[in-house]
Structure 1
């Protein structure tokens, strides 16, 4: 039997050591995890996540009468157990909520913040950026976590059950353990070298010195205890012993004896944790084909960039375009919107973000006039000038120097929930890189984030990056794009994805495929993905190659680079007769799981019903 160890009190030491074991499946049994269903249709409520245990945690709360907010926090806390390399107590995220009672969308910015001691040059040595890999695996990259405050605020403000009740499924899951699947095993193996350099991380995630085998059960009693304290006391636990342990771990990372890795100390303080505040922001909003599309405003660039791209696409009538022409327009719109994202989006408490102009129809027309139907814009294109004529459409040319590369880490997770009362949540959360900083807080059961690597380390030679430089208390720019779409004032779609900088393009393409290209939501989620982020090449999944669409777009001048996987969507669609369709990935990241409160038989929509109207 492979075992992990953990820091515990003397009286409970032996029991906790036994509980922390990674337990193999019985001899002769196939090592199988929970069943996964990528599509579920029914009534009364729904949950879709990347993980069956997390989906079940949300469903358990719905079945007991909880609402969509309660279910979202329950599912997110469960993902902190089963998806600890993508999300968790030591990270942050963005929470988008549609209130049926109010008929409006609210958002919470739970992004991590830089320590008060952080300066513009904190990631520089001798005037040069430190190696990115060294920044990732360090205390220097750790921001003040926003997830605890987000969970507490959401439940207190909009939930229907107390926090102690909402956290029960995740506490039980951490105690009893979850079945390790191939994705968890592979992610652990990919991080094994750096995990081994931190004793608490190795004890938890490398039982017996190796990644836990597929089919074994991995338990995390330390996280169960952390969750219990949080359930009783809320985010104020970060002002007590748990917070003290977070600060000590970040400022003096506990590296294994003999490890030769350079692990820089962090700047986080107890005051940074005590001063953290989740921010309720107005959502971004655009009207796309008569639909109201709501997203996350800065500090995230998700809502602004998706919204700007949709506005550019909306200048053309999809009925006049062939499928490959819609795809061409989407790629070009994404290219232009990303140029503006990199130039202008940052934490609005520190940067004057021209959000209203970037999301205006006039500015979209100014940018759209650069797109030619039979040729490709040479990338990287320069951002536009939101101040030129106030976006009056007269200037049909970029005006500034292009931005530099986007280093944002790919690992994040997304979930959606809905309840019987019509409330909806779209929630994206993360610890940044797969495995975050790689540093587990000893005795607490969770990894610390490396979110501060989302800052630009310095202004580039072209002048890009100024909006996203480090600063005390600043939130680094993010690509997370939790989205809710209303049709005729009622919820129609909710979606989002992990994937770092590809999140925006994933959400954009699913929306365009669903609204303009006649696909059903499951088809749009499963379709091969493209990601154009103002680069010379467009990333494309293997299934896209050798298709008529690839041939047509290549003839226009698009150049594609193969990448194994882009994003991992969780989504909901409200159908007729009060039905909800929950959709998760059928294959990406091992496949997700969708569930509804009361199942009903489902038949694919008839011809022509894939479009929004």
Structure 2
């Protein structure tokens, strides 16, 4: 079991290799052993699961010191900002779902980034009304929203935590200062971004030592981020009202580009007032009842809770209406894929920032509407996607209300963590900077990359009006697919889960629930099973291990078609067992595998 973070593991191995920001790296030919990774841990007293051993250990350190699940979640998130900087961090945002053992209530934080006050509906269009190239929006200041992570971290710790922010941030500060061991995934992600990172001298200085991606087994330090974290630990989100916030805005407004670069990096609209004025929103969670379980998720501006919940309701309705007599596993996945098409069709048309558009959320989450949507599900044959959305405003799910629409261009690089403590509190937290590597633009002297989350907005509206719910607007939050989820059984925690993966987040969470609840797989089995992702597209994406299986043959016979994709999601989850035991589960292989830990392991 991994018990030492960052440079502590390095020193224990008897070697010290520093790929530092400054001075230049020394001993670059030496290698050290990366921390161990355990995909499953069972025990008592509390648990943490994330994609990274150092981050998981940061959360465990806080639990051991008497912190609760909220404190541990923020400590883990801050550490992921160091070790998984291309997936999430101080320059991004996300959504946190919290179960309070004291009163049995579910609470959520919408910490999604917001558009600048100067951003209009035409922000991503040329003067002639044509959308700018998506790649130019991704690597630009124009795609940068006001970060929500700092306010989320402060709000969660202040409202629900037990430890001061100064203590909660301590493990992440140490990892940033002393360093973490680079693994193959980090090197691969850096290499994939090398061309666009090279346009920004500060990003090169931080992530491309000697002008190339760091080698696995070397140690990367980030003292600039350590200083940013120290300031945040002292002042909270108030740091955004000072130099750090001003630097974020200035970097987005006028990205510091290498003079020799030929890349067209568009300036942004973010101001210091936009950054300093950011506020999180505590929203009511989404809620559906599935097979007697209470499934809670994140309401809009995320589409995660509504789409997962609606799909579960449709699966339930379709299965009751016309049970299929074939193989039970095939039936479960057939209904899941069919329900996913219908739920995504509605998501793409109706879901946006509820403070700016009217989202018919109650209808989308109602079992009655799902019963109507299920009229399109044939248990013996697949629908040909894309399918049309239902009339959610008229509460008629069996009537097509608009043409099928696009799923959008949500980036796949996000991260997720789950935590629990001995009191029974639980956190499921998904956060992101959008694309792998976000905007690619590092804030000079601050040690973190800025998000490009505003590219989740629709750039234009179709002739039939599709896309209007998710157009840019002043202070608006772009639609997300992040789906942190907590499931209660008889009023007590049963599962907590979530995943990265852009629009595939919803299907990953949906499949984990279907596999665990309907197919009866154990949580580790469900985590390891080959994944499918149907997002109202003509074909269903599937991981390589799915092909050649009996289920592929049976689903294909029902009319489903599949295209291969290397990996779908990188989930983490908890299951609450009998005798107050917790099973913490991380990916065994995807994205290099995650790390799960419990406070007192079961013998």
TM beyond 0.5: yes
Residue 144 (structure 1) shift: 0.2
Output the CA distance in 1 between the equivalents of 2:569 and 2:208.
Answer: 26
Output the CA distance in 2 between the equivalents of 1:326 and 1:163.
Answer: 44
| Counterpart pick for 1:293 among 292, 295, 313 | 295
| Counterpart pick for 2:572 among 546, 555, 570 | 570
Asked if 1:373 corresponds to 2:373, the answer is no
Residue 464 (structure 1) shift: 1.2
User: Which TM-score applies when normalising by structure 2?
Assistant: 0.95
Query: Are 2:411 and 2:434, in contact at CA under 8 Å, matched by a contact in 1?
Result: yes
Residue 17 (structure 1) shift: 6.6
Query: Are 2:45 and 2:599, in contact at CA under 8 Å, matched by a contact in 1?
Result: yes
Q: Which residue of 2 aligns with 1:248?
A: 250
Q: Which residue of 2 aligns with 1:448?
A: 450
Output the CA distance in 2 between the equivalents of 1:528 and 1:20.
Answer: 45
Output the CA distance in 2 between the equivalents of 1:168 and 1:20.
Answer: 24
Q: Which residue of 2 aligns with 1:362?
A: 368
After superposition, the C-alpha distances for 1:300-330 in whole angstroms (9 at most, x for unaligned) are 0000000000000112258966210111110
Output the CA distance in 1 between the equivalents of 2:393 and 2:255.
Answer: 46
Query: Are 1:24 and 1:216, in contact at CA under 8 Å, matched by a contact in 2?
Result: no
| Counterpart pick for 1:404 among 388, 402, 406 | 406
Mark the CA change 1:581 to 1:23 in structure 2 (over 3 Å): closer, same or farther.
farther
Query: Are 1:19 and 1:175, in contact at CA under 8 Å, matched by a contact in 2?
Result: no
Query: Are 1:525 and 1:569, in contact at CA under 8 Å, matched by a contact in 2?
Result: yes
Output the CA distance in 2 between the equivalents of 1:366 and 1:73.
Answer: 41
Output the CA distance in 1 between the equivalents of 2:132 and 2:163.
Answer: 46
Q: Which residue of 2 aligns with 1:34?
A: 35
Query: C-alpha root-mean-square deviation of aligned residues, in Å?
Result: 1.5
Q: Which residue of 2 aligns with 1:121?
A: 122
Asked if 1:269 corresponds to 2:275, the answer is no
Q: Secondary structure at the match of 2:266?
A: coil
Output the CA distance in 2 between the equivalents of 1:43 and 1:49.
Answer: 18
Identify unmatched segments of 5+ residues in structure 1: 1-14, 602-613
Residue 482 (structure 1) shift: 0.1
Residue 32 (structure 1) shift: 2.5
Q: Which residue of 1 aligns with 2:205?
A: 203
Asked if 1:51 corresponds to 2:52, the answer is yes
Identify unmatched segments of 5+ residues in structure 2: 1-17
Mark the CA change 1:280 to 1:21 in structure 2 (over 3 Å): closer, same or farther.
farther
After superposition, the C-alpha distances for 1:153-193 in whole angstroms (9 at most, x for unaligned) are 00000000000000000000000000000000000000001
After superposition, the C-alpha distances for 1:406-428 in whole angstroms (9 at most, x for unaligned) are 21000000000000000000000
Q: Which residue of 1 aligns with 2:9?
A: none
| Counterpart pick for 1:467 among 456, 469, 473 | 469
Structure 1 consecutive aligned stretches of length 4 or more whose deviation exceeds 2 Å: 15-27, 317-321, 395-399
Query: Are 1:96 and 1:108, in contact at CA under 8 Å, matched by a contact in 2?
Result: yes
Residue 500 (structure 1) shift: 0.2
Output the CA distance in 1 between the equivalents of 2:549 and 2:21.
Answer: 53
User: Which TM-score applies when normalising by structure 1?
Assistant: 0.93
Q: Which residue of 2 aligns with 1:384?
A: 390
After superposition, the C-alpha distances for 1:418-440 in whole angstroms (9 at most, x for unaligned) are 00000000000000000000000
After superposition, the C-alpha distances for 1:26-82 in whole angstroms (9 at most, x for unaligned) are 74x6x4210000000000000000000000000000001100000000000000000
Asked if 1:86 corresponds to 2:97, the answer is no
What pairs up with 1:487-506 in 2 under 5 angstroms? 487-506=489-508
| Counterpart pick for 1:171 among 151, 170, 173 | 173
Q: Secondary structure at the match of 1:400?
A: coil
The count of aligned residue pairs is 581
Output the CA distance in 2 between the equivalents of 1:310 and 1:20.
Answer: 54
Residue 397 (structure 1) shift: 3.5
Query: Are 1:23 and 1:216, in contact at CA under 8 Å, matched by a contact in 2?
Result: no
Query: Are 2:498 and 2:505, in contact at CA under 8 Å, matched by a contact in 1?
Result: yes
Residue 20 (structure 1) shift: 5.9
Residue 461 (structure 1) shift: 3.0
Residue 405 (structure 1) shift: 4.0
Q: Secondary structure at the match of 2:446?
A: coil
